[in-house]
Amino acid sequence: MCPVTENRTASLKRTKSLQDLINFDRGQGPATAERDRFRLLDQGNFEPARSDVSKRKPVNVAAFLVILIILMKVSSVLSLTCHQAEYQIGNECCPKCLAGSRVKMHCNEYRSTSCLPCMDGTFTDQPNGLERCIPCTNCDSALGLRVNKQCTTTSDTVCEPLEGFHCVSFVRLSCDIAQKHKRCKPGQYISQKGTASTDTECSDCSSGTFSNGTFHSCQPHTQCHLFNLQLVTAGTSAADAQCGEHSFNVGAAVGVAVCVLIVITGGGGLLLWHLKKRAPSNRPPIKEQGTDGERLAMASSEGDKRANADHNEGIPL
């Protein structure tokens, strides 16, 4: 680089540094000095531009004081810490109202907090700075709930599930939402009965047993042969076996009945014939013709014939 140029640059830097020091001493600082411009008049000679100090507006002291006061108040509010038995309202720490009551009028630098008791159907369960009491919870039956403990001015309503329901959502000690217990399907039994906090548990029946879904244990199928019955429908996991009377052959039954009837009829006929044969005759005597002598002669002749017949039967041929 040319020596003349180097000298010029060094002179320019020294002049700028000197101007910065002058401006800083006047209270303008580096930012004001940066706004100054130097104008080249001749080789190696510079003249500083006119200062803009005379053009600046004066500071509004009143506005500055207002802003400062506001900042101080905001700072005091942000840094305010109230006691546990107090609540903050603005830049004041007011005493809390007791449980079962609410704030009627907040405190200020002249008076303390004034309170009112909660009305029926509302409550506050701890010291507070509330302007309104909290409405009591409604145990809605549409949500499967019923009242376990009534609401008071110092405690909320406690809800519990209806019979056959279990709670699925709690708020503190109160049930918020309840659901109906699960129903087991046919072929399943209730292995764990539902409670107010747990649902029903179901398990499948094993082979040879059944349940319609309401049993607490599966039942074995009926064995028809043990009751001298015939199996009509086999049992399933959801239903018992169906039994019926033993079937019989209609043709064979009719044949047997006919045979029995014939035997009874034939036996009855033979019995009647035998009884009739042995019974005395009720017919009137036949009046014989002829005189007594003729009848005697005929009787004698008949006797001889019988005697000869008996004799002939005894003689071998």
Segment 80-102 shows an average pLDDT of 93
Do 210 and 238 fall into the same domain?
Answer: yes
pLDDT of residue 81: 87
Q: How many domains, in total, are found in the chain?
A: 3
Do 174 and 193 fall into the same domain?
Answer: no
Query: Per the domain annotation, does 119 fall within a domain?
Result: yes
Query: Per the domain annotation, does 69 fall within a domain?
Result: no
Dihedral of the CA atoms 106, 108, 113, 119 (nearest 10)?
-20
pLDDT of residue 3: 41
Query: Per the domain annotation, does 100 fall within a domain?
Result: yes
Give the confidence band of 11 by pLDDT, cuts at 50, 70, 90: very low
> What is the CATH number for 210?
2.10.50.10
More confident residue, 83 or 16: 83
Look at residues 191, 198, 185, 155 and name the one whose alpha carbon lies nearest to residue 173: 155
Do 226 and 214 fall into the same domain?
Answer: yes
Query: Which of 215, 242, 269 represents a domain boundary (last residue)?
Result: 242
Are 274 and 281 a contacting pair, CB within 8 Å? no
Do 190 and 229 fall into the same domain?
Answer: yes
Query: Based on C-alpha coordinates, what's the Rg of the chain?
Result: 66
CA angle 37, 41, 46 (to 5 degrees): 50
Query: Per the domain annotation, does 88 fall within a domain?
Result: yes
The DSSP annotation for 103-160 comes to EEE---SS---EEEEPPTTEE--S-B--SSPEEPPP--GGGTEEEEE--BTTB--EEE
Stated pTM of the model: 0.49
Q: What does the alpha-carbon distance between residue 210 and residue 186 come to, in Å, rounded to a whole number?
A: 8
**Enclosing domain of residue 189:** 185-242
Query: Which of 135, 166, 199 represents a domain boundary (last residue)?
Result: 135
**Which DSSP helix (H) or strand (E) runs through 291?**
none
pLDDT over 50 (residue 247): yes
Do 162 and 204 fall into the same domain?
Answer: no
pLDDT over 50 (residue 248): yes
Q: What does the alpha-carbon distance between residue 173 and residue 196 come to, in Å, rounded to a whole number?
A: 13
pLDDT over 90 (residue 118): yes
Are 267 and 240 a contacting pair, CB within 8 Å? no
CA 230 vs CA 194, 240, 246, 286: distances in Å: 40, 14, 5, 71
Query: Per the domain annotation, does 1 fall within a domain?
Result: no
Query: Which of 180, 215, 233 represents a domain boundary (last residue)?
Result: 180
Query: Per the domain annotation, does 33 fall within a domain?
Result: no
Q: DSSP 3-state assignment of 256? A: helix
Contacts of 56 (CB under 8 A, 6+ apart): none
Beta bridge partners of 40: 46
Q: What does the alpha-carbon distance between residue 128 and residue 106 come to, in Å, rounded to a whole number?
A: 12
Do 131 and 141 fall into the same domain?
Answer: no
b/e sequence 51-73, b meaning 16+ C-beta within 10 Å: beeeeeeeeeeeeeeeeeeeeee
